[in-house]
């Protein structure tokens, strides 16, 4: 266990101050004209010297130091550049944004190829041959035989809406059908006429008739269901 020092317990702040003050008083008594007292005897305002700056020098550089070393353009050169055509001026290079986007061509489909081939083959458009009834063919022959000067090939072609080549073949042909064949052909053409009429009647383009009513698609469908 550490021993207790009685001398250290007497060292307090007040005792230290007193001892320092006593030492200074003793020193002043021994050396009354010391340098320490001479320095303190000077007035404080003499030690504080004042500096007055009347003017702060600034550095000035010539104007040519800041401006780039380029020759000045005269008024004549400015006027000539203004009057110079635009073609003489250098064009700025085109960037990638100025170029139009490249579009890839799609491969044509089958129906497009076929349509293009038909346009090349039939420049006037698709015009299939028109079928004429036996009565119409016989009427063409009778009209041309009665007055060939009036009912010429172009006139008959325009009247029956067929090509002049078809009229020429009809007039040139010498084949004639027999009476039974003619009757059979008339019956077939009559059925064809009635069937087309019934189809147009269902679309609302022709009035319905008793003769064409059995040939309509709805009646044919119901008759098949009944027979089955």
Task: Quick: pLDDT tens for 140-168.
Answer: 999 999 999 999 999 999 999 888 999 99
If you average pLDDT over every residue of the chain, what do you get? 72
pLDDT score recorded for residue 227: 55
29-62 per-position pLDDT tens digit: 766 555 555 555 445 544 444 555 455 555 555 5
Give CA–CA dist 29/23, Å, rounded: 10
pLDDT score recorded for residue 25: 74
CA-angle at 74, arms to 69 and 76, nearest 5°: 150
pLDDT score recorded for residue 98: 63
Question: Among 76-90, 131-145, 169-183, 203-217, where is mean pLDDT lowest?
Answer: 76-90
pLDDT score recorded for residue 204: 84
Residue 70 has pLDDT above 80, yes or no: no
Question: Among 31-35, 116-120, 132-136, where is mean pLDDT lowest?
Answer: 31-35
pLDDT tier, 73 (very low <50, low <70, confident <90, very high otherwise): very low
Residue 65 has pLDDT above 60, yes or no: no
The structural domains of the chain, with segments of one domain joined by +, span: 131-176, 177-227
């Amino acid at each position: 266990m550490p021993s207790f020092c009685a001398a250290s317990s007497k060292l307090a702040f007040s005792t230290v101050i007193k001892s320092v003050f006593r030492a200074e008083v003793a020193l002043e008594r021994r050396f009354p004209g010391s340098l320490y007292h001479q320095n303190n005897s000077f007035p404080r305002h003499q030690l504080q010297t004042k500096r007055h700056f009347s003017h702060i020098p600034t550095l000035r550089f010539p104007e040519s130091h800041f401006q780039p070393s380029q020759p000045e353009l005269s008024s004549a050169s400015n006027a000539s550049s203004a009057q110079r055509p635009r073609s003489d001026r250098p064009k700025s290079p085109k960037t990638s944004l100025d170029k139009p986007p490249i579009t890839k061509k799609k491969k044509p489909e089958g129906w497009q190829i076929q349509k293009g081939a038909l346009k090349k083959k039939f420049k006037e458009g698709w015009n299939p041959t028109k079928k004429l009834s036996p009565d119409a063919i016989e009427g063409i022959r009778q009209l041309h035989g009665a007055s060939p000067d009036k009912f010429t090939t172009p006139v008959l072609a325009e009247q029956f809406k067929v090509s002049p080549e078809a009229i020429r073949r009809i007039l040139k042909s010498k084949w004639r059908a027999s009476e039974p064949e003619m009757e059979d052909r008339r019956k077939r053409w009559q059925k064809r006429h009635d069937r087309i009429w019934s189809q147009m009647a269902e679309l609302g383009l022709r009035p319905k008739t008793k003769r064409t009513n059995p040939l309509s698609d709805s009646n044919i469908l119901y008759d098949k269901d009944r027979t089955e």
